[in-house]
Structure 1
């Protein structure tokens, strides 16, 4: 008999609201993750005392562990601290670096993990990967998705708007990743996971069509849910394809050639807009550009502090970052084109943004 359905692994609970951290103990109890609050809570720089005070009333048994986060070394150090402890789960509270560090350490030692995001800069909240720096650069490591995901909008609001703008760029780039995946299906027969596509696309489309802005709880909730859906789309498909295409190749190339220029999400947003331009999708290009302009998300190389010639160098280098991936960049062979041809493409792209 053929398999008629498939099981999809998801968190036990997704909670996006104000004051979520203060009631974390109740969530852990109600979802039977930890009846007595015997957990380790991992926090990044600057959040420790505030979070400890919020957790004390409902999570008094928690042990607070501080981490700088973001590196493979820090993740291994955290894992060593967690190993052998008699805890029900580990809770990572903070931005992407803290959550990725906690996800890696928890997965390494088979400890259930709860993700608590205080910013909306990327889709790592629920993704099956952890991006960590090491001596050779930055690696992406497979991890278990969290048992539960919590986003506290009070912390999101108090953080810089640039983080949420990065999350907007990351979410919108899913549309480019899907278009690149569909291109690969047509050109080289790469299989597509329709459920993963639907999950990643629906979040991005919801963001485009929401009338609110960064000061609106409704919009921030949609952004949070869209980032979660993007991460789960990767877990469902077993690949980063639904959330990573030529846009991410360009972001990785920026990190290699001009490190520190921008955040991952904003770089992916610019990369997605450029790739959409290359595919000649005029209506989608206009839609993405208008959405990014409305939310003040970088759209051009200059917005990232890059010159047009530097961006041309970046996009020619980009296919080298993911040689196994087929996107619009590989389709047109951008890394084999003459420098003047790529410069002309970039100039036309910048002109289209400014027109």
Structure 2
């Protein structure tokens, strides 16, 4: 009987531990990425630049590139600046915006990218997607996922606690995204990849049950591992389906309709996941999710991130337009603005009771 297997796209190496940055040169060489030391390093103007002095002795042959922001134009400029450099790899050192810019730039010039995260705000550290600001607002671009992940727990522990909390919100939204995917399978026959669901949902369930606070190193380790697993799940699925459902549609709608006022991505998708779970009638899950969001000082209602009930209603109504062809609870219910307003009022009453 033949044995059927598949190759799983995943990073060559994942280093999550204290003081991992001090071993970055050896990690790259041991991973057969750059024994010659011809590395390009993209850094943010904040956390990345602050670490350059510490890392220059570890990467003596590297060329350093400042990336001002997480825009499409900035990523294109980075790619053009690196052309002709004959590098072995690009290291993206910083927060999610810089890593997303590095992933996009590396794809344009055909280089593998290593994500060195200075915060854990969202699952971009391992995902096959770059979220970049453009002239129309914000766009998602398919890219190869990082070939290596390095998370220095001492560095991420110093990031603003709001960023850590946002990463938790992003991972928790996997639960809602997977439920939407399974709903689509029942209603439309869309195939579901069970392995991708198992990885994405397990990562989220671990954080849903984790008792640690934002300064707990064990929680930081679990969060970093969960973000990596979420990225691998998307690679397995060949799409963002395991981590992006109605929760992300709502977040993208807020970004598009109110670009000057959008909150952290993880804050928005955490709220979107809780509301989507409420729409699916999952009262116990909604309660557990809201409790965990509150535990980490994450928003559970729209006003907590600066949106009125009317604005949130408009965003939820517009949300399906952000991902044409994707079927979630929003497409399934096809709610009118007045229906959404009533459902949100019920949700607010439930979470505040």
Q: State the match for 2:60 in structure 1.
A: 60
CA contact (8 A) 1:23 1:55 kept: no
Q: State the match for 2:285 in structure 1.
A: 284
> Match of 1:132, SS?
strand
> Match of 1:309, SS?
helix
> Match of 2:300, SS?
coil
C-alpha distance in 1, partners of 2:185/2:55? Answer: 48
Q: Which moved more, 1:153-162 or 1:193-202?
A: 153-162
Q: State the match for 2:92 in structure 1.
A: 92
Give the alignment's Cα RMSD to 1 decimal.
Answer: 1.3
Instruction: List per-residue Cα deviations over 1:207-256 (Å, max 9, x = no partner).
Output: 11111111110001101111111111111110110000000110011111
Q: State the match for 1:296 in structure 2.
A: 297
Q: CA deviation at 1:84?
A: 1.2
Q: State the match for 1:314 in structure 2.
A: 315
C-alpha distance in 2, partners of 1:323/1:48? Answer: 36
Q: State the match for 2:341 in structure 1.
A: 343
C-alpha distance in 2, partners of 1:255/1:130? Answer: 15
Q: CA deviation at 1:340?
A: 2.9
> Match of 2:157, SS?
helix
C-alpha distance in 2, partners of 1:146/1:87? Answer: 16
Mapping of 1:208-227 within 5 angstroms? 208-227=208-227
Q: State the match for 2:158 in structure 1.
A: 158
C-alpha distance in 1, partners of 2:256/2:137? Answer: 8
Pair 1:50–1:340, CA change in 2 (3 A): closer
Unaligned runs of 5+ in 1: none
Pair 1:185–1:35, CA change in 2 (3 A): same
Q: State the match for 2:177 in structure 1.
A: 177
Q: CA deviation at 1:3?
A: 6.6
C-alpha distance in 2, partners of 1:201/1:216? Answer: 22
Structure-2-length-normalised TM-score: 0.97
C-alpha distance in 2, partners of 1:258/1:80? Answer: 31
Instruction: List per-residue Cα deviations over 1:138-178 (Å, max 9, x = no partner).
Output: 22111111111011222212111111111111000000000
Aligned length: 352
Structure-1-length-normalised TM-score: 0.96
Q: CA deviation at 1:191?
A: 0.4
C-alpha distance in 1, partners of 2:140/2:81? Answer: 22
Unaligned runs of 5+ in 2: none
> Do residues 266 (structure 1) and 264 (structure 2) align?
no
C-alpha distance in 1, partners of 2:216/2:105? Answer: 35
CA contact (8 A) 2:44 2:94 kept: yes
